[in-house]
């Protein structure tokens, strides 16, 4: 299973808020097959069993922001590709929570 955390930062917008651009980027990946996503305050977690799907989503999100008139987009992506276990996002979170007091 492959998990990726992607953060997209549109540069030189008219406002300090990026939520409009982030929402449009997320809308652009909603119909990609074999992709799940989860939004958090600092980015978006992508989940797939195919690295090309992760790359496709990343490209689509950044291109969407560019197509909204933003000439510069910073993208930070962190990828966890694991082949020994097939854990979903929630299973990883649950694994951590069981160790919390």
pLDDT of residue 48: 97
Give the model confidence (pLDDT) of 56-96 as tens digits: 999 999 999 999 999 999 999 999 998 888 888 888 888 88
Name the 3-class secondary structure at 19: helix
Could you tell me which of 101, 18, 28, 84 has the C-alpha nearest to residue 58? 28
Query: What is the residue range of 13's domain?
Result: 2-97
Please tell me the total count of domains within the chain: 1
Give the tokens for residue 39: 């939004």
The CATH number that applies at residue 88 is: 3.30.70.930
User: What's the pTM value of the predicted model, to 2 decimals?
Assistant: 0.87
pLDDT of residue 85: 83
Give the model confidence (pLDDT) of 25-49 as tens digits: 999 999 999 999 999 999 999 999 9
Q: Residues 6 or more apart from 24 whose CB is under 8 A from it?
A: 64, 65, 68
């Amino acid at each position: 299973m492959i998990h990726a955390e992607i953060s997209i930062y549109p540069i030189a917008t008219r406002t300090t808020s990026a939520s409009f651009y982030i929402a449009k980027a997320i809308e652009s990946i909603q119909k990609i097959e074999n992709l799940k996503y989860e939004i958090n305050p600092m980015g978006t977690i992508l989940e797939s069993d195919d690295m090309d799907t992760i790359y496709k989503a990343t490209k689509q999100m950044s291109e969407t922001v560019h197509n909204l008139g933003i000439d510069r987009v910073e993208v930070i992506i962190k990828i966890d590709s694991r082949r020994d276990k097939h854990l979903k996002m929630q299973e990883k979170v649950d694994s951590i929570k069981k160790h919390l007091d």
